[in-house]
Amino acid sequence: MSEETSLPFVRLFTDGACRGNPGPGGWACILRHPASGTEREFSGGERRTTNNQMELQAVIEGLSRLSRRSRVEIVTDSRYVADGCRSWLSGWKRNGWKRRQGKKLVPVKNADRWQKLDRLLQQHDVRFTVVRGHTGHPENERCDELAVAAAERFRHSG
């Protein structure tokens, strides 16, 4: 049995929400360990953020809660996060966290979060599954509900 297939398998469902962009935002994730049947939900938010930042934060929060190297299927409705991890990260790193815009290099938006996510991705064997948001996918709907509730707490506080 290879090292990768002997790793524990975890499914991580994520979503982010924002009330205004920028505005009060929330993130949520569900960590499911199919072998044991255990599942845990997490959510939080920020007073002034963007939807993309909250989508990134949801994945960061989920991966940071894993205590050991795992095979992780990340289920998200964010093409931004999935495409960024699959296609853009290596080029950004090679270019010093800059991306091409026309003929010049400009700083990557949300570089601090992308860098944190990059470190977490290197600790695990990760693959992404992109689902369509707001189409009745039970875990995506639950994450959306938790993320929206977190954003609302910031919208109505001080």
Please check whether residue 115 lies inside any domain of the structure.
no
pTM over 0.85: yes
Mean pLDDT of 88-100: 95
Number of domains in the chain: 1
| Residue 35 and residue 71 in contact, taking contact as beta carbons nearer than 8 Å | no
124: which residues sit within 8 A by CB, 6+ positions away? 63, 66, 69, 70, 71, 72
> Residue 134's pLDDT is what?
86
Measured CA to CA, the distance from residue 134 to residue 123 in angstroms comes to 31
> Residue 6's pLDDT is what?
86
Q: Is 107 helix (H, G, I), strand (E, B) or coil?
A: strand
Backbone angles phi, psi at 3, to 5 degrees: -60, -40
DSSP 99-145: EEETTEEEEPTTHHHHHHHHHHHHTSEEEEEE--TTS--HHHHHHHH
CATH number at residue 71: 3.30.420.10
At 40-87, the pLDDT tens digits run 999 999 999 999 999 999 999 999 999 999 999 999 999 999 999 999
4: which residues sit within 8 A by CB, 6+ positions away? 71, 125
| Residue 42 and residue 65 in contact, taking contact as beta carbons nearer than 8 Å | yes
Please check whether residue 33 lies inside any domain of the structure.
yes
Please check whether residue 25 lies inside any domain of the structure.
yes
Mean pLDDT of 134-138: 92
Please check whether residue 48 lies inside any domain of the structure.
yes
Q: How confident is the model at residue 123 (pLDDT cuts 50, 70, 90)?
A: very high
Please check whether residue 73 lies inside any domain of the structure.
yes
What is the extent of the structural domain holding 16? Answer: 3-86+125-155
Mean pLDDT of 33-42: 96
Q: Which residue from 26, 29, 8, 120 is spatially nearest to 76, judged by alpha carbons?
A: 29
> Residue 1's pLDDT is what?
45
Active site (catalytic) residues: 15-16, 55, 77, 134, 144
Mean pLDDT of 16-42: 96
For residue 28, the cross-strand partners are 15, 43
